[in-house]
Amino acid sequence: MDHQIPAETAAHVLFHYGRDGGYQAGSFTEQLITAIDMADPANRDKLAAGFPDYVAAVVAIQYDPNGVHHLQRIAAGQVAA
């Protein structure tokens, strides 16, 4: 995870994926997370130019076996990303 993930971002992504420790984002952010979730790698890279923290969090939860736990720790303020 190359980019800093703020606690709020971690919480929003956790909620989107139905994981403990998250809370719902506003409608724009919900749609953004959905777009990142659905994006192919080229479009995900384009979204990362404007929203690197959200892309990093989604990539973590999708591809890192410890991603959920890591995001939960960030959201709880137990660790900095």
Please state whether the predicted TM-score (pTM) of the whole model is above 0.75: yes
- Tell me, what's the pLDDT at 2? 45
Per-residue pLDDT at 1 exceeds 70? no
Q: Are the beta carbons of 57 and 64 closer than 8 angstroms?
A: no
Sequence-separated (6 or more) residues with CB below 8 Å from residue 64: 1, 70
Band of residue 80 on the pLDDT scale cut at 50, 70, 90: low
CA distance linking residue 30 with residue 54, whole number of Å:
11
Residue 42 buriedness (CB in 10 A; 0-12 / 13-18 / 19+): exposed
Task: Render pLDDT for 18-61 as a digit per residue (tens, 0 to 9).
Answer: 999 999 999 999 999 999 999 999 999 999 999 999 999 999 99
Band of residue 76 on the pLDDT scale cut at 50, 70, 90: very high
- Tell me, what's the pLDDT at 81? 59
